[in-house]
């Protein structure tokens, strides 16, 4: 086959020169402080056993879904699973997409219209930005979790038909959350349509629906995105909202319409994982580990390096791509998988080590990793 054009090879060379060249790494047997398997469900045999049972009980399965949802791919399990997801999250409806990336591409490219304005937190995930790039609406970022900045920007640009505000429940690269009361105040003041990506909160921040109700955020929430590749330990995503949102996406979201549906085995696994979520498997251990981690950070005098987080994602700012890569390598040598997050994924000088905590991490693993960090910094 013909190689890619020279200009693209040059771009690759440039990445190597500045130390940001990406390569694929096979999963290792190191202590896991890196995966998104926060509750340990990806390694739970009971889920695959239950998923097989669900398929057997249903009596008809297939290796693949055989088509898109609008053609032959709409397996009977979709109805059951979407109902189960909607009930768990106390939403009117759920619509399954093949991944969180697909859900965001479909949602953001289809929903905001030509004369609308979209305001998104500067730290939202790449899938949201990519979706917005496909939209005809104008979009503007506001400073991370800064709702005064958001208010100023909304006030300045008043002519839109609809105003959309986009944020995340737990930010993937920082582990923090919006201040819900301040967000609710903005929603009430400007009558916005709110979209919240809950990827890193799904199954972890179990009080989220309650928070939405208590703060009145619920009244402005047009869509929620939940994903299954993180705490649920499997694959896929869903958009939650009312029936008209679901109908709209089925009719207009390209990444829903023009792709082969998830296979029955994936749906059965999602159903089995939600059953475990309902049973709160791993939840207490995860939250205990988050507390242990935060306590150790304070005890080891590391607090000034970390972004405050009550989620499973904890970031230690260690400026410089080479510096943070070196730190990650030291962790690897000591048996820990702690990944560096480099610029341009995060801003320059904000490069960081990202510790993902899990239900299955032990107290000893957490304390040893943080002691190592204290010696390295």
Ligand X SMILES: Cc1ncc(COP(=O)(O)O)c(C=O)c1O
Interface with ligand X (CB under 6 A): 99-101, 104, 125, 127, 168, 172, 197, 199-200, 227, 229, 237
Q: Which residue is nearest to ligand X (CB)?
A: 100
Q: Please report how close the Cβ of residue 374 comes to ligand X at its closest, in angstroms.
A: 28
Q: Which is nearer to ligand X, 311 or 343 (CB)?
A: 311
Measured CA to CA, the distance from residue 118 to residue 299 in angstroms comes to 42
Query: How many Å from the N-terminal Cα to the C-terminal Cα in the chain?
Result: 47
Q: Which residues 6+ apart lie within 8 Å of 377 measured at CB?
A: 302, 305, 316, 318
Q: Which is nearer to ligand X, 350 or 371 (CB)?
A: 350
Q: Which is nearer to ligand X, 116 or 168 (CB)?
A: 168
Measured CA to CA, the distance from residue 375 to residue 72 in angstroms comes to 58
Cα-to-chain-centroid distance, residue 171: 7
Measured CA to CA, the distance from residue 370 to residue 257 in angstroms comes to 46
Q: Which is nearer to ligand X, 256 or 373 (CB)?
A: 256
Q: Which is nearer to ligand X, 170 or 272 (CB)?
A: 170
Q: Which is nearer to ligand X, 238 or 372 (CB)?
A: 238
Measured CA to CA, the distance from residue 148 to residue 142 in angstroms comes to 9
Measured CA to CA, the distance from residue 298 to residue 293 in angstroms comes to 9
Q: Please report how close the Cβ of residue 357 comes to ligand X at its closest, in angstroms.
A: 16
Q: Which residues 6+ apart lie within 8 Å of 162 measured at CB?
A: 112, 113, 116, 117, 193
Q: Please report how close the Cβ of residue 26 comes to ligand X at its closest, in angstroms.
A: 19
Q: Please report how close the Cβ of residue 27 comes to ligand X at its closest, in angstroms.
A: 16
Q: Please report how close the Cβ of residue 323 comes to ligand X at its closest, in angstroms.
A: 24
Q: Please report how close the Cβ of residue 3 comes to ligand X at its closest, in angstroms.
A: 29
What DSSP line would sit under 312-341, residue for residue? SEEEEE--SHHHHHHHHHHHHHTTEE-EEE
Measured CA to CA, the distance from residue 58 to residue 76 in angstroms comes to 9
Q: Please report how close the Cβ of residue 172 comes to ligand X at its closest, in angstroms.
A: 4
Q: Which is nearer to ligand X, 196 or 353 (CB)?
A: 196
Q: Please report how close the Cβ of residue 69 comes to ligand X at its closest, in angstroms.
A: 17
Q: Please report how close the Cβ of residue 338 comes to ligand X at its closest, in angstroms.
A: 17
Q: Which is nearer to ligand X, 100 or 203 (CB)?
A: 100
DSSP 169: S
DSSP E strands in 175-291: the ranges are: 193-197, 221-227, 237-241
Q: Which is nearer to ligand X, 124 or 372 (CB)?
A: 124
What DSSP line would sit under 105-142, residue for residue? HHHHHHSS-TT-EEEEETT--HHHHHHHHTSSSEEEEE
Q: Which is nearer to ligand X, 98 or 321 (CB)?
A: 98
Q: Please report how close the Cβ of residue 199 comes to ligand X at its closest, in angstroms.
A: 3
- Four-residue CA torsion sign, 97, 99, 100, 104: negative
Q: Are residues 109 and 239 in contact, defined by beta-carbon separation less than 8 angstroms? A: no
Measured CA to CA, the distance from residue 38 to residue 359 in angstroms comes to 6
């Amino acid at each position: 086959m013909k190689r890619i054009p020279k200009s693209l090879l040059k771009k690759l060379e440039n990445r190597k020169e500045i130390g940001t060249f990406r390569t694929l790494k096979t999963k290792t047997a190191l202590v896991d402080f890196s995966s998104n398997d926060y509750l340990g469900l990806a390694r739970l045999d009971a889920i695959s056993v239950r998923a097989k049972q669900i398929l057997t009980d249903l009596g008809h399965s297939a290796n693949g879904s055989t088509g898109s949802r609008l053609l032959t791919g709409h397996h009977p399990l979709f109805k059951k699973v979407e109902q189960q997801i909607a009930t768990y999250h106390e939403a009117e409806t759920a619509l399954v997409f093949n991944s969180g990336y697909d859900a965001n591409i479909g949602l953001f490219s289809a929903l905001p219209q030509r004369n609308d304005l979209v305001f998104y937190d500067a730290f939202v995930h790449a899938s949201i930005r990519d979706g917005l790039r496909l939209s005809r609406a104008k979009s503007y970022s506001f400073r991370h979790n800064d709702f005064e900045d958001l208010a100023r920007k909304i006030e300045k640009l008043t002519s839109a038909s609809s105003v959309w505000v986009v944020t995340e429940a737990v930010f993937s690269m920082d582990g923090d959350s919006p201040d819900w009361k301040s967000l609710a105040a903005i929603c009430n003041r400007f009558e916005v349509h709110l979209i919240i990506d809950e990827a890193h909160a799904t199954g972890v921040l179990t009080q989220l629906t309650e928070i939405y109700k208590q703060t009145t955020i619920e009244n402005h929430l047009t869509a929620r995105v939940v994903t299954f590749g993180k705490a649920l330990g499997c694959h896929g995503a869903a958009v939650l909202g009312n029936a008209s949102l679901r109908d709209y996406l089925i009719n207009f979201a390209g990444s829903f319409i023009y792709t082969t549906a998830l296979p029955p085995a994936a749906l059965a696994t999602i159903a089995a994982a939600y059953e475990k979520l309902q049973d709160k498997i791993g939840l207490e251990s995860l939250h205990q580990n988050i507390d242990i981690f935060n306590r150790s950070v304070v005890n080891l005098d590391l607090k000034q390096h970390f972004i405050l987080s009550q989620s499973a994602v904890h970031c230690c700012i260690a400026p410089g791509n080479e510096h943070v890569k070196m730190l990650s390598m030291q962790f690897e040598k000591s048996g820990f998988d702690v990944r560096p997050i480099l610029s341009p994924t995060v801003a320059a000088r904000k490069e960081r080590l990202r510790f993902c905590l899990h239900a299955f991490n032990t107290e000893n693993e957490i304390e040893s990793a943080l002691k190592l960090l204290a010696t390295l910094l």
